Amino acid sequence: MSKTLGAWDKAKREQRKMTIVTAYDVTAARLAEAAGVDAVLVGDSLGMMVGGEADTLRVTLEQMLYHTEIVARAATNTLVMADLPFGSFEESPAQAFAACAKLLKAGAQIVKLEGGAPMVETVAFLSRRAVPVCAHIGLTPQHVRQMGGFKRQGKTPEAAAQLLEDALALEDAGARMVLMEAIPSDLAAEITAKLRVPTIGIGAGPGTDGQVLVFHDILGLTPGRAPAFAKRYLDGAQLITTALAEYVREVRESQFPA
């Protein structure tokens, strides 16, 4: 069972790969758990996947609490991770703790926050107060406007060195996991080898301890174009559209209800 953080630490020691998918509702959480996924992430990506937003910045803490509660209700044997949304934690460590306390009470077992070196003090503050933290570095979607778009990170020697330094500092501050998004695979593998805590990759190559993908990307439900690093395992949009169209046809031709 991978519900506990200890199970993730053990997997790291035994070099067993772990899996995470996003989940925003009961249906996704139940399906992910039935498939044997090790953790579900209630991501602020729900702003894009569920709300049709261009980025994650408008997602509120109240929305995250609602979705975390319903996902945790369904994923009873799977680790539940929840995102701290933009504006809910950057002001001060105390602000971050207040938001984390609400997410943990809603059912999260670990809380994810974006940012490198500037968040070290906050991670340390939270860790000393019994809040398990997953630190998110590399491409951090909440900083997309500052970054000038969803761009790959860590491409220069200087940027790569900074990401490694950030990861080590966040681990020292008490982070229980480090998620790396859209960075070179060799850099992700190097960071993974140097950290004692589990690493999670998304668009960061195969060298991390685990992988995370968006539920809608896996099932081919993503509106528009999916990220280049995502793999579609099902043409879900076509299958669902075909089924709905068949329902429409049967009703109009008086075949349903029989």
The answer, yes or no, to whether residue 9 has pLDDT greater than 90, is yes
What span, in angstroms and rounded, lies between the C-alpha atoms of 58 and 50? 12
The DSSP symbol for 98 reads H
User: Which is it for the CA torsion 229, 56, 92, 130, positive or negative?
Assistant: negative
- Catalytically annotated residues: 181
Taking residue 117's Cβ as centre, other Cβ atoms within 10 Å add up to 13
The answer, yes or no, to whether residue 232 has pLDDT greater than 70, is yes
The answer, yes or no, to whether residue 257 has pLDDT greater than 70, is yes
Residue 148, pLDDT score:
86
Residue 197, pLDDT score:
98
Q: How far is CA 234 from CA 61, 129, 231, in A?
A: 32, 42, 9
What span, in angstroms and rounded, lies between the C-alpha atoms of 178 and 191? 9
The answer, yes or no, to whether residue 90 has pLDDT greater than 80, is yes
Instruction: State what percent of residues in the chain have pLDDT above 70.
Output: 99
Average pLDDT value over all residues in the chain: 96
Residue 82, pLDDT score:
98
126-158 pLDDT tens trace: 999 999 999 999 999 999 998 888 999 999 999
Residue 2, pLDDT score:
67
State the DSSP H helix or E strand holding residue 251, giving kind and residue range, or none if neither. helix 236-252
Q: Which residue has the tokens 């190559």?
A: 205
93-116 pLDDT tens trace: 999 999 999 999 999 999 999 999
Residues 139 and 188: beta-carbon distance below 8 Å? no
Q: In whole angstroms, what separates CA 34 from the centre of its chain? A: 19
The answer, yes or no, to whether residue 256 has pLDDT greater than 70, is yes
Taking residue 118's Cβ as centre, other Cβ atoms within 10 Å add up to 9
